[in-house]
Chains A and B, each alone.
Chain A
Amino acid sequence: NAGVTQTPKFRILKIGQSMTLQCTQDMNHNYMYWYRQDPGMGLKLIYYSVGAGITDKGEVPNGYNVSRSTTEDFPLRLELAAPSQTSVYFCACSPILAREQYFGPGTRLTVT
């Protein structure tokens, strides 16, 4: 039982490039989330999903897109990367909405 896995662990992007951050969970939770964490700051919600085919914006969705075709997978797409997107990205899941969440190990992204 791996819980929540994220790939890649680290990535350096050039300005204007695109990439997809992968997130997979084997906990059979309906609810999944993407957060970013900047140094010394709290986690900010980017997007979340309440089930396959259903996604919604969080607090800071600009510059990102998501899809949810299965219960297990919730990829985050960055289009036209900008230096402001340099951050640590965490994926999480939960059995109940807005209740305790379980996080993946994170992806450290640098955009230069």
Chain B
Amino acid sequence: RKEVEQDPGPFNVPEGATVAFNCTYSNSASQSFFWYRQDCRKEPKLLMSVYSSGNEDGRFTAQLNRASQYISLLIRDSKLSDSATYLCVVNKGSARQLTFGSGTQLTVLP
């Protein structure tokens, strides 16, 4: 089983739609969780951290389910500018490293 697994997509949604991505992780000792976005041929940029109680940042909501070992990202009222690849990132338990998922590609259509 991969350490971090994401549905690669692509997800093609119309503007204004709500879209959700899930990500599963294998290390039950993981403590830190993040979503990054990566535009085509650009560097990954931190979108948001994911906290145990769930958290929201504008149109973006992140949830963590420790029992089932998955995190999710919900994007409401999608904009054209949300088109990107979304990377799920998890720390390796006590190890000094982050593990990056392969990403889920989102295209928002006009």
Contact = CB atoms under 8 A, between A and B. Distances in A.
B46 A58 contact: no
Given A41-B102, A48-B96, 18 more contacts: A42-B87, A42-B99, A42-B100, A42-B101, A42-B103, A45-B97, A45-B98, A48-B97, A58-B97, A59-B97, A98-B91, A98-B97, A99-B32, A100-B49, A101-B46, A101-B98, A103-B44, A104-B43
8 contacts: A40-B8, A45-B97, A48-B97, A50-B96, A98-B97, A99-B32, A101-B46, A102-B46
Contact of A98 (B42, B87, B92): B92
3 smallest CB-CB distances across A and B, nearest first, come from A103-B43, A42-B100, A43-B100
Contacts, number: 48
B101 A98 contact: no
B44 A90 contact: yes
Interface in B75-110: 87, 91-92, 95-103
Nearest to B46: A100
Interface range for A: 20 to 34
A99 B36 CA distance: 12
B4 A98 contact: no
A98 B96 contact: yes
Contacts of B87: 42-43
User: Chain A interface secondary structure, helix, strand, loop or mixed?
Assistant: loop
A26 interface: no
Contacts of A48: 96-97
Interface string A70-112: 0000000000000000000010000001111111111000000
B42 A97 contact: no
A51 to B, nearest CB: 12
B44 A98 contact: no
Given A42-B4, A42-B103, A58-B97, A98 B32 contact: yes
B66 interface: no
Given A42-B4, A90-B43, A100 B34 contact: yes
A50 B97 CA distance: 11
Nearest to B48: A100
